[in-house]
Amino acid sequence: MDYDGPESGSVQENFPSPEPPRPAQKSRRTAFVVTTLGVLALGVLGLLVVKANSDKSEMQDRLDSSKTEVAELTSQLEAGTQRADGLEARLSDIEAELDTANEQVKVAGEVRDGVIDFLALSMTVGAGLSDPDGRCIAEALADEMGVAELLSATLAAADLGLGATAPSSETLRFGLAVVSAAEDCGISLDDPTLGQAASYGDDPVLDALYDQCASGQMGACDQLYIDSPLGSGYESFAVTCGGRFDIDSAPAICESALSASPVISGSPLPQIAASGADPAIDLQAPTIAGFDFDSNEVEIGTTGRPTAVVFLAHWCPHCQDEVPRVQAWLDSGGGVDGVDIVGVVSSTNASRPNYPPSDWLQREGWTPTVLVDSNDGAVMAAFGLGAFPSWVFLNADGTVAARSLGELDIAGLETFMEMIAP
């Protein structure tokens, strides 16, 4: 076999032999390994730090959430405690209110018994009833009216009996309630000697009032009611305004009853101003159909005559000056030919001074015609007025020539009346 290499057993002297590693190369390898391991270790450590930070953040969030929950629970606990305290305070208030209510019920019972005792005594002494009859009526009234209303009505009736007040709707209802209660108790309050209209009674003063009431003087009917004995024929006649109303529909005050609804036709006048031009001048005034104190019909604005209309109230001090001044002028021959004067009595109130107005005007000798306004002053409002006294001067055709607020001296009154004279 051919072979180009050295022969077996021979040594090629010029082939280089491998050299042993040098110390520098070994050191570099070691450094590389160490560096690599360090980098790996740092990477692992970084991952561990990131993981630790993430876990720490999560734990912090959970801790914060727990703190929030604890705070909310603490707040709810405090609110619950406050609510419990509030409920306890309210319960204490309710208990106090209940104690007060029980005390009031006790007092109310004592007041009821006191009112019944007082009224029973009044029935016994004032109406001549026996004590059992008076107590029966008093207890029936207490059951029907209630203690508060009964006490008020009893005191009002007492004032009425003493002449301290005029009759009112309250005293009228009380009188009718007494009669009804007496019937429930089987007691008759009628006096046979006074129940017959033709025979009157044995009191000449009441007889005179009876006659005046029958003739149409409504103020006399009211006075008869005030002065008449409870349950008497006088009282029954007065309550019905001299037989002009059924007892169930009778008014509280006879004097204003027949004028309670005067008939007002046409448009109301504009409200008068304290100064400046009067917007009612030359306007057609509303026409009025009503009554005087004696139930005679009275008209304003439809007579075809010039008319001076003065609005009066019995309690008005300026009216109390105006009426005698005008009447003195008329008594001395004053007045304007062809011009009528009509006094409209408005805002009548039994609880105010100088009542009733019919007596007031009679004392002053008032001679002009009177028309009684409704209780709510409807006629006065229709003429656009709001003060006492006030004057309206109407031409013959019913148009407004002038209006005036407040008192008028005689010279001013004469001037206005001459202005509308025919």
SS (H, E, C) 9-40: CCCCCCCCCCCCCCHHHHHHHHHHHHHHHHHH
Model confidence over 89-104: pLDDT tens digits? 877 778 777 777 777 7
Classify residue 196 by its DSSP letter. -
The pLDDT of residue 257 is 60
Model confidence over 225-242: pLDDT tens digits? 888 887 777 888 888 787
For the segment 348-369, the average pLDDT, to the nearest whole number, is: 87
CA 334, chain centre distance (Å)? 48
Residue 343's alpha-carbon distances to 45, 48, 210, 329, 371, in angstroms, are 117, 113, 27, 15, 6
The DSSP code sequence of 218-268 is HHHHHHHHHHSPTT-HHHHHHHTTTTTS-TTT--S-HHHHTTSS-EEESPP
Residue ranges per structural domain of the chain: 190-257, 263-420
Average pLDDT, the chain: 78
The pLDDT of residue 71 is 80
Q: Are 421 and 348 in contact (CB under 8 A)?
A: no
Q: Are 150 and 142 in contact (CB under 8 A)?
A: yes
CA–CA dist 14, 96 (Å, integer)? 130
pLDDT surpassing 70 at residue 192: no
Amino acid at 378: A
pLDDT surpassing 80 at residue 340: yes
> 349 is written with which tokens?
């109130």
From the CA atom positions of the chain, what is the Rg in Å? 54
The pLDDT of residue 19 is 58
Element (H, E) at 133: helix 131-145
CATH T-level assignment (fold) for domain 263-420: Glutaredoxin (3.40.30)
The pLDDT of residue 311 is 97
More confident residue, 281 or 116: 281
pLDDT surpassing 50 at residue 10: no
In the chain, the percentage of residues whose pLDDT exceeds 70 is 76
- Identify the top-confidence range among 120-129, 243-252, 323-332: 323-332
> 343 is written with which tokens?
């006094």
More confident residue, 334 or 166: 334
Number of H-type helices and E-type strands within the chain: 12, 8
- Identify the top-confidence range among 23-37, 93-107, 331-345: 331-345
Phi-psi region of 377 (alpha: psi -120 to 50; beta: other; left: phi over 0): left
State the pTM of this model. 0.46
196: pLDDT confidence band, cut at 50, 70 and 90? very low
CA–CA dist 132, 285 (Å, integer)? 62
CA–CA dist 156, 178 (Å, integer)? 14
The pLDDT of residue 361 is 94
- Identify the top-confidence range among 25-39, 159-173, 213-227, 238-252: 213-227
CA–CA dist 225, 384 (Å, integer)? 36
Pairing of strands 263-265, 400-405: unpaired
pLDDT surpassing 60 at residue 331: yes
In the chain, the percentage of residues whose pLDDT exceeds 90 is 29
Q: Are 293 and 222 in contact (CB under 8 A)?
A: no
